[in-house]
Amino acid sequence: MMRLSYRSPKTEVRESKIHGRGLFATAEIAKDEIVAVKGGHIVDRETLREKITSRLGPVEIQIDDDLFIAPVTDEERELSMLYSNHSCNANLGMRGEITFVAMHDIRAGEELTHDWAMTDDDDYSVECKCGAPNCRKILTGKDWQRPELQKRYAGYFSAYLARKIAAHCHSERSEEPDNRSSDHTDHLV
């Protein structure tokens, strides 16, 4: 069967200090170069929770409030896996909904990781064991809302979350008090 996801020929899967197997650079990767593209089927949240996650584990990427890309069978699981582990000091970001790119130049031998804050909007809280100096210790499905992460990963959130961040920022600005005096708007010239 054909692979469902794409991994750059400059990468390989091997044992990771973070978790199980990880994706590693085998050659230098330039900033903004495509490293991986997630493939699979489009499924809704109910299907994911009831029929997929319980059987295959966490194999999805979120692309909208209620939509995910995921494998649906045991056979497809391995064919869709990217093996990019989470890190609070990630070197991969998103372009669009399913494409992972280098956020900076990456040296051969580095593990290729992404921060779930760039892709997830869900109700979870899990202990983080990434080992990064800036590890948050607890990851939540709402970390994308953290201002310091929005600043750090600006331009590298999934398009889905970038829209939510922009809408959230816009709603905050519209709630700010209007500094214009009504005296200037009452007079027609």
Domains of the chain: 6-171 (2.170.270.10)
Model-level pTM?
0.88
Residue 182 has pLDDT above 80, yes or no: no
Per-chain mean pLDDT for the chain: 91
**Residue range 102-111: mean pLDDT, rounded:** 98
Closest residue by Cα to residue 140 from 120, 158, 160, 154: 120
> What one-letter code names the amino acid at 79?
L
Residue 71 has pLDDT above 50, yes or no: yes
Task: For Cα atoms 57, 50, 54, give the angle at the middle one, nearest 5 degrees.
Answer: 25
- Answer whether 120's CB lies under 8 Å from 143's CB: yes
**Residue range 171-175: mean pLDDT, rounded:** 61
Residue 186 has pLDDT above 50, yes or no: no
Q: Are strands 61-64 and 111-112 parallel, antiparallel or unpaired?
A: unpaired
10 Å Cβ neighbour count for 185? 8
